[in-house]
Amino acid sequence: MSLACLPLRAAARQADPDDLLEAAIFHWMDLAQPADAASAKTIAIEARLSRAAGLPSEASGATVDVRYRWPDKLRASVTAAGEEHRAGRDGQQLWVHQPAKKFGLIGKSGVPRFTADAKSIDKSVLPPFELPIGKFKMRAVLLAVESSHAGQEKIGDFDCTILKLKVMKLAAELIGVSTNAVIHVWLRNDLLPMRITVNDGNGLDLQIDTISARVSRPAPDEQWQIKPNEQDKIHTVALSHLTRFMEVGPRLMKQEIPTLPRVSGEKKIVAQSGRGRLEMHDGTRVLFLAGSPEDMGRQHGELLKPEIQDVSGKILYGIGVGSSFFKGNWFFGEVENAQSRVVKFVDPRVLREMDALADAADLHRQEARLSNFFPELFHCSGFALLGKSTADGHVYHGRVLDYLRGVGLEQNAVVTVYQPDDGRHAWVNLTYAGFVGSVTAMNEKGISIGEMGGHGYGDWDGKPMAQLVREVMENASTLDEAIAIMKAGPRTCEYYYVVADGKTKQAVGIGATPTTFEVVRPGEAHPKLSKPVEDTVLLSAGDRYDLLSARVKEKWGKFDATAAIELMSRPICMTSNIQSVLFVPDTLDFYVANADGQNVASHTRFTKYNLNELLKKKASEAEQTKAEPSKKRTTGF
């Protein structure tokens, strides 16, 4: 039976379930996107999540108040766990308001995207609200839904018809939802929902109750504006920063990273750029860069353009902008202030490399620079095993990177081999696309280093940690030279390091702040390291340090590469373990593991490389391809 010409109340009483469901959904679609602005009405719905089994406990009892008018007006408020969060759109402006944090943002065009570049004026234009699908496609979707009457019920003042909905088995399997999922909808006579329940048969059991729902004449324009309190700090920001967050943020929750297969020995060249090239070694990226800072930046940007854009977007507009709402402080304001303080301490060569990278990767130069500030926040564990603690006399330097697993850095991991042409040391950086500093590295002289973050956040008047690590790699030939470079500073915040020297087979732990510098030798005790072990340097925190010390004592004198890798397994590594690396600096071997969609890094495949072999290959192949046209990369991996 067609419902197109029936009054809504009659439709609700007379329709079969399929027609009633279609009529209700089409009615909602007409309200959301009417034929023209003149016929647009204000929709106001207030609802409560009355049952939230399968969701975090904070969700139970949460309320939402949404007001909407096509084509460009929206105001929404969510209250959960006693805290209210507001957001809205007023024409060409987006806004967010967190009253409890006394914090808010107004995003609009016409303002600079970056404070360091007054010419970076945002020219974003918001389109009208638009439904993701039209009625024709919606009809096709509804063909996959089984609907049936489930009775009548009066809720408050409203008589409701109950519809039971179930996605057909084949459609459920295609879209990846439970074949046992059942939805019940309580429809008022005006086809607005009064209650919705969802049970997926796998523990998710939700009930959403409408507190009020009404359709009225257009509300006054001031109803759609942010309404801050007197003490609130409201930042006016580039509109594109908020629209990029809306684009990138949801992707952070959906990371599919396959597990690497067993090592097969397969190696292939993917693309070339000048003297640089990108290779795949057993499913892992190996990036070779050579020449001046501008050369290496351009090669990096051309060879890893999609990955660099992905990493930069996730860091700045996903994690960065998203952190603003947790902290109640505008991320770009915070990171740009920090950068303005550290930039004068950064080697101009590094800045030139970043800018060349940005130009080649189609990023704003400030995006590349600000993304490179991100490693300053890493936290981790590390160790060095040497002398009598090992079974074979080698030095084993382990580094566990525990930070932000699952937000999209893992699939952009890269082994980057640098060969500067100005007499600085060649070195390898275990990193992510777009980063030119380092937190985990080894150079051709057998100096390896891994960093662990501490406290002191905000002490930015010095060399960024990741640039200081790079300086060690490019200039230190001995352990003493590495210590001297790090001691000279000037340094930022609080960081800890394990540094090893393959030639002398020695290692140290370093604790450094802007004003203090401490060196711990193998087997030495320290107030923060109360369980030293002979011929080892062990750095971690809390219970993980105690367990690391106990594991080392248990296998002392028996460590080889396999045992050293096992040392980094849970719970020495945290659930946030995104990368784990083992250096053998006296042979220039190194082993790298990156987290996948199911496992922390230390529980995935470790891939073995040798820096000396990579450099030899790089030098010989660079000569052969110097005069050849660059092989451009045309697709992703």
Span 321-339, average pLDDT: 93
Q: Which two tokens stand for residue 435?
A: 């980063």
- Pairwise CA distance, residues 92 & 100, whole Å: 26
Instruction: Let me know: does 297 contact 319? Beta carbons within 8 Å.
Output: no
Q: Over 70: is that where the pLDDT of 286 sits?
A: yes
Residues 215-260 have pLDDT tens digits of 998 888 899 999 999 999 999 999 999 999 999 998 887 778 889 9
Provide the pairing of β-strand 284-291 with 447-453.
unpaired
CB 147 within 8 A of CB 162: no
Question: Residue 169's pLDDT is what?
Answer: 82
Number of CB atoms found within 10 A of residue 101's CB: 17
Residues in a beta bridge with 427: 418, 443
| Residue-wise pLDDT tens digits, 553-592 | 999 999 999 999 999 999 999 999 999 999 999 999 999 9
pLDDT at 624 over 70: no
Under a CB-based contact definition with an 8 Å cutoff, are residues 376 and 465 in contact? Answer: yes
Query: Do the strands 233-238 and 103-108 form a parallel or antiparallel pair, or are they unpaired?
Result: parallel
Write down the number of H helices and E strands in the chain. Answer: 16, 30
Question: Tens digits of per-residue pLDDT, 512-556?
Answer: 999 999 999 999 999 999 999 999 999 998 899 999 999 999 999
Instruction: Say yes or no to pLDDT of 386 above 80.
Output: yes
CA of 282: how far to CAs of 279, 570, 577, 607, 634, in Å?
Answer: 10, 25, 22, 8, 20
Sign (positive or negative) of CA dihedral 356, 362, 367, 371: negative
Q: Cβ(23)–Cβ(191) under 8 Å?
A: yes
Predicted confidence at residue 13, as pLDDT, reads 52
Average pLDDT value for residue range 47-61: 95
Residue 332 has pLDDT above 90, yes or no: yes
Residues 141-160 have a mean pLDDT of 94
With cut-offs at 50, 70 and 90, classify the pLDDT of residue 59: very high
Q: Is the per-residue pLDDT at 389 higher than 90?
A: yes
Does residue 333 sit in helix, strand or coil? helix
- Strand segments, DSSP code E, in 386-434 are 396-402, 413-420, 427-432
If pLDDT is split at 50, 70 and 90, which confidence band does 459 have? confident
**The two structure tokens encoding residue 145:** 């839904």
pLDDT of residue 28: 96
Q: pLDDT at position 4, please? A: 44
The pLDDT assigned to 632 comes to: 62
Average of pLDDT values for 404-408? 80
Mean confidence (pLDDT) of the chain: 92
Q: What pLDDT is attached to residue 255?
A: 76
Spatial strand order of the sheet with 158-167 comes to: 145-155, 158-167, 182-188, 193-199, 205-216, 42-53, 63-69, 73-80, 83-90, 93-98, 103-108, 233-238
Residue 447 has pLDDT above 80, yes or no: yes
Q: Residue 11: its pLDDT value, please?
A: 47
Query: Taking residues 170-183, what's their average pLDDT?
Result: 77
What percentage of the chain carries pLDDT values higher than 70?
93
According to the model, what pLDDT value does residue 633 have? Answer: 65
Residue 288 has pLDDT above 70, yes or no: yes
Q: What integer is the mean pLDDT of 163-191?
A: 86
pLDDT in tens, 184-226: 999 999 999 999 999 998 999 999 999 999 999 888 889 999 9
Cβ atoms of 239 and 107 closer than 8 Å: yes
Dist CA 155 CA 219 (whole Å): 28
| Two tokens, residue 480 | 């003493």
